[in-house]
Structures are given as C-alpha cells and as structure tokens.
Amino acid sequence: MKKFFEKINMTPKQVVDLLLIALLIVFVSQNVESVKVKFLFFGFELPLIVLIAITFFIGFFTSKVFSKKKNNEQKTLEIEN
C-alpha cells in the first residue's frame, strides 16, 4: 500500500480529503432546488444546500459554546480541589 501512495505522490490523508471533496460536490449538486422555509412570522425561499449549511453551522457553534462552558467548569473544579 505504501508503494501505491509513493507512486501517486500523495499521502493517505490527501486521498481521503479528495474523496470527501468529491462526495461534497455530489451532495451539493443534488441539493440546489429552492425550498420554502417558515419560521415564526417569516417565510422565505432559499436553496436547500444553504439551509443545510446554516443548520450545520448553528449546531457547530452551539456545540462549541457548550463544550467551552463544560471545560471551564471542569477546570474550576480542578482548581478548587
């Protein structure tokens, strides 16, 4: 297997990255139609991929905020002990 990566002059991480990028391109190309979104008193249309990206980033940043809060609480407990 090592000879294969030397032959193509790429690391295994680069091969995995290329495969993930290819999957992402396929996913994006299949989710470009517009969808109607209703939220509280607002209604609007946007491409499905944009809605998926917004939802992903909201979840990502929410997890970051709560994980930092949890880490800070653990550090405080360690300092007190």
Question: What gap in Å lies between CA 15 and CA 7, rounded to an integer?
Answer: 13
pTM of the model: 0.56
The string of pLDDT tens digits covering residues 19-71 is 989 998 898 888 889 999 898 988 999 988 888 888 889 988 898 888 876 66
Provide the CA 52 distance to its chain's centre, in angstroms.
10
Q: What is each CA distance from 39 to 3, 42, 55, in whole angstroms?
A: 54, 5, 13
Residues in the chain: 81
Which residue segment(s) compose the domain that 20 sits in? Answer: 2-80
Q: How many domains does the chain have?
A: 1
Centre a 10 Å sphere on the Cβ of residue 28 and count the other Cβ atoms it contains: 14
